[in-house]
Amino acid sequence: IDEHGDAIVAWFAQRGRPMYVEEATRGANGRWRARSLLAKARNVLRPEVAMDARGDAIVAWSHEDHEWTRTRPAGQRWLAAQMVTNSQGLPASLAVDARGDALLTWGGLRRIVAAVKRSTDTKWQISTVASGAGEPTAGIDPSGNGVVAWFTHAGLNTAWGTSPFG
């Protein structure tokens, strides 16, 4: 939900064999707009959506072990889908701060991976957060500090990035 009260949701739907990543928006007036198709694929996992204070939105999803995103500047159309990584991984977790800086994290083969992107950037910067396995969750505080948290058999693990956006 942005600062004006506009909201967005994203989900995957299956009609027959193909799967779809879809989204719908609700204006501050409470009216939902018709859903729109963001991607058609097989094996789509857990789409995640986030919106900054201005209304810029990002949707992230996993497809065939790749992480994908689409962004939509406030009041504009969705930009083309972008593959963030082509490495095998678990479903991603997405967080966006009020400025639109984004943190995307996922568990890969024996490692926890994160990608960051400023609202003004076109590409994601990818780095390994830790070795090991897990399904991480992303978070960003109002100052732009990011955290990645995941569980293992030993308990909760966290990795902090103080202002990963510079």
| Per-residue model confidence as pLDDT tens digits over 83-142 | 998 666 677 899 999 889 999 998 877 889 899 998 888 889 988 888 888 889 999 988
Question: What pTM did the predictor assign?
Answer: 0.87
Strands (E), the chain: 7-14, 19-26, 36-41, 44-51, 57-63, 66-72, 82-85, 93-96, 102-108, 111-117, 125-131, 137-140, 146-152, 155-161
| Per-residue model confidence as pLDDT tens digits over 17-66 | 788 899 999 999 999 998 999 998 777 778 899 999 999 999 998 887 78
* Number of Cβ atoms within 10 Å of the Cβ of 127: 10
